[in-house]
């Protein structure tokens, strides 16, 4: 999936859900236009988010693979007895934390 595809999916869902929240979207942006300022901005935002989302998915896949390969063989310090990997909850503690950009209101 690339930014344009995610932006289009977001737009379709946004338009579909807006009435459920008593929100009326702008008539000028009801149809997604990738060449409009709004469309370009949405694609740019999605392109910024995708690397973080992919990294988080990879992190979760690695965690699930670890549990599949090693089961729940952890000691009291959340260290896998099989391979020594530090595991915190259901997320690998020795993986770099995924940082999303701050949202400023």
Question: Would residue 8 count as lying in a domain?
Answer: yes
Report pLDDT for 103: 47
How much is the pLDDT for 61?
Answer: 80
pLDDT digits (tens, 9 = 90+) for 14-58: 999 999 999 999 998 899 999 999 999 999 999 999 998 898 888
pTM here?
A: 0.62
Encode 78-105 in three state secondary structure.
CEECCCCCEEECCEECCCCCCCCCCCCC
Structurally, how many domains does the chain consist of? 1
Residue 34 within a domain: yes
pLDDT at residue number 48? 92
More confident site: 104 or 33: 33
Domain residue limits at 35: 3-71
**Whole-angstrom Cα distance, residue 25 to residue 42?**
15
Give the pLDDT score at 35. Answer: 96
Does residue 57 lie in a domain region?
yes
Structural domain contains residue 16: yes
The yes-or-no verdict on residue 105 having pLDDT over 50 is: no
Q: Tens digit of pLDDT for each residue in 57-76?
A: 888 787 777 666 666 555 55
73: left (phi over 0), alpha (psi -120 to 50) or beta: beta
């Amino acid at each position: 999936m690339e930014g344009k595809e995610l932006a289009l999916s977001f737009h379709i869902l946004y338009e579909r859900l807006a009435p459920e929240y008593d929100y009326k979207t702008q008539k000028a942006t009801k149809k997604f236009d990738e060449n409009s300022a709004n469309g370009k901005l949405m694609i740019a935002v999605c392109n910024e988010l995708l690397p973080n989302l992919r990294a988080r998915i990879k992190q979760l896949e690695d965690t699930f693979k670890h549990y599949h390969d090693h089961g729940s063989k952890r000691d009291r310090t959340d260290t896998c007895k099989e391979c020594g990997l530090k595991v915190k909850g259901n997320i690998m503690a020795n993986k770099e934390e995924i940082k999303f950009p701050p949202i400023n209101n």
